[in-house]
Amino acid sequence: MTSGLTRRVVLGGLVASAGSMGLAGAPQTSVRPLPRDSGPVPAAPKKLLSRTEELIRAAGLGGDVGFAVTDVQSGEVLEARLGSTYLPPASTLKTVTALYALDRLGPNHRFQTSVVVTGPVRAGRVDGDIVLVGGGDPTLDTDRLAELALMVREAGITEVSGAFKVYAEALPRADRIDIDQPDHVSYNPSFGGLNLNFNRVHFEWKRAQDNYEVTMQARALRFRPSTNVASMAIVDRKSPVFDHWSNGERDNWSVARRALGRDGARWLPVRYPARYAGDVFRTLARSNGIVLKPAEIVVTRPEGAVVATVESDALRPMLHGMLKYSTNLTAEVAGMSASVSEGPVETMGASARKMAAYARAQGSGFVMFKDHSGLNYESAITPSGMSRILASNPEILPLLKKVNLSLGKNRPAPTGVDVVAKTGTLNFVSSLAGFVLGGPRALSFAIFTADTARRDAVPPAERERPPGSRSWARRSRQLQKELILDWAQRYA
């Protein structure tokens, strides 16, 4: 946990240059008392709603609206509504994951992907197997894998007598993060010790007379090889738009012809990441003159000499990107790597429980984490708990994204108030957690809005974009800004 001295140092540099906002003025008139014996006593007036309750009622969200505001310096909770109610954090959970990973792994941690040979290299020939060894890197892409293949060639290897093996057991693995999401959404990919292109394949279609030309590529900026681990068929049907089946080694997709239009592209999830990476590496090796046999997946890391290695960026900038773009795979890998650093972990859920213990040590109270990205519907934390975690760890502040407080042309963002935060969105769930800066008092906050009954009523096949979810989320985001502006006026 960050010490008081560290908190003052961090906040001093961030708050010193920010402005402040005036306080609301006092009422200009008061209610005149009724004279005695002036006729029938009128009915008691309805209780006036507070400014906060007026805003919540105007938003018309239904479900629960909970929040907590904390003074970062003192740790005092200044205001809360349903502050002790367990609500889904959605992607704001990634702030906890970032803190957990930085604490356990350190800001300079880098993930490695290597090639190992199990026998001697004589005159360019490996007398043994060649092994692609994953270290969990969530940002590994085809371009970096191409660098690795080139390094193998530059190491003098031109031929391999044995097998081509792929090892991906450095982290727990599964074919998707959350089983309750639609099959075709790319934000719910597989994960494990070897990940490529965020475990997505690029599906592109182009109209060609009465048919379509289709490609399934491991697409990156420089290289875009096709892959044999995913195929696509165009079929005549009304629904579903996408269908998926598997033979245990590859993804077989079909898409409804009527949904394609003319030309287009989208990312689809990969369910066999080790085979996907092995297939692409084999293609890249061949482009360097090295012919490999089809990949064989192994669960025990072979012993041998490392002949090539590529590294990820350092963890801190990686987590900055994760929070900016809300990449679920990066969150899961960062969280599981943090857990594995202290000993073996069998599943993503087991790792999430270890992260929950970390959160409790940071002052969150009881929490329930099912993953590290917030995608699972069952993850829950209180607004007060999230706000306290942030107040205790203001070093996360520079990794968060600035929030535009503008509420339209006639209500521009106020000067002198800065908000940095992490958003979170699921179906009929919207959250925001971060900091309000702009005066002598810095605030941490968490706002959770959730109509879980409406969320749970959405069939799994419609969870990518259910009717009404966009307008609901827009109203929630407006409410969040209104609440923050009110707090800034009264507290900051």
Using omega within 30 degrees of 0 as the cis cutoff, is the peptide bond preceding 240 cis? yes
Q: What is the DSSP string of 305-321?
A: EEEEEEEPPPHHHHHHH
Residue 422 has pLDDT above 90, yes or no: yes
Rounded to an integer, what distance in angstroms lies between the CA atom of residue 392 and that of residue 75? 8
The 10s digit of each residue's pLDDT in 135-193 is 999 999 999 999 999 999 999 999 999 999 999 999 999 999 999 999 999 999 999 99
Query: Residues 260, 239: contact at Cβ < 8 Å?
Result: no
Query: What average pLDDT does this structure show over 224-248?
Result: 94
Rounded to an integer, what distance in angstroms lies between the CA atom of residue 447 and that of residue 65? 7
Percent of the chain, pLDDT > 90? 81
- Of 417, 317, 326, 414, the residue nearest 109 (C-alpha): 317
The 10s digit of each residue's pLDDT in 195-220 is 999 999 999 999 988 889 999 999 99
Helices (H), 78-179: 93-105, 142-154
What is the number of other CB atoms lying within 10 angstroms of the CB of residue 291? 11
The 10s digit of each residue's pLDDT in 54-80 is 999 999 999 999 999 999 999 999 999
β 64-71/443-450 pair status: antiparallel
In which band, very low, low, confident or very high, does the pLDDT at 441 lie, cut at 50, 70 and 90? confident
Strand spans (E) along 315-465:
401-402, 418-426, 429-437, 443-450
For residue 432, the cross-strand partners are 423, 447
**Encoded tokens for 266:** 């989208």
Query: Which domains, and CATH codes, for the chain?
Result: 4-20+51-107+315-490 (3.40.710.10), 112-172+275-311 (3.50.80.20), 197-274 (no CATH)
**Encoded tokens for 354:** 């270890």
Helix (H, G, I), strand (E, B) or coil at 254: strand
Q: What is the pTM of this model?
A: 0.89
pLDDT at 49: 64
What are phi and psi for residue 265, nearest 5 degrees? Answer: -160, 155
In which band, very low, low, confident or very high, does the pLDDT at 423 lie, cut at 50, 70 and 90? very high
Least confident of 17-31, 196-210, 476-490: 17-31
Element (H, E) at 57: helix 51-59
Query: What average pLDDT does this structure show over 21-32?
Result: 35
Residue 36 has pLDDT above 50, yes or no: no
The whole-angstrom distance between residue 448's C-alpha and the CA centroid of its chain comes to: 17
What is the number of other CB atoms lying within 10 angstroms of the CB of residue 246? 12
**Encoded tokens for 10:** 């961090």
Rounded to an integer, what distance in angstroms lies between the CA atom of residue 311 and that of residue 314? 9
